[in-house]
Amino acid sequence: MNAPYGGDRGQTPGDGSGQPEDPYVRDAYAYDPYGDHDPAAQDPVNDALYDRAAHPPPP
């Protein structure tokens, strides 16, 4: 049966001018390991897997 839900009757949806609450916690930790990420830095996994004998670094 399609009975109407009366739990929120009489409440208006509002005018939409308010800022919605941020669902993500900001500054939750004292140290953020991803906050200071340098995109130009070397990847430690690729650096460890790189075969230096077959491909020596340039001088």
pLDDT tens sequence across 11-52: 666 666 677 777 777 777 777 666 666 667 777 777 778 777
Q: What's residue 55's pLDDT?
A: 78
Distance (Å) of CA 44 to CA 5, 24, 35, 36, 59: 56, 29, 17, 16, 21
d(Cα 51, Cα 57) in Å, to the nearest integer?
A: 10
Q: Is the pLDDT of residue 1 over 60?
A: no
Distance (Å) of CA 42 to CA 16, 24, 33, 50: 45, 29, 16, 12
Q: What's residue 50's pLDDT?
A: 75
pLDDT, average across residues 55-59: 78
Tokens of 27: 């500054």
Q: Is the pLDDT of residue 58 over 70?
A: yes
Q: What's residue 47's pLDDT?
A: 74
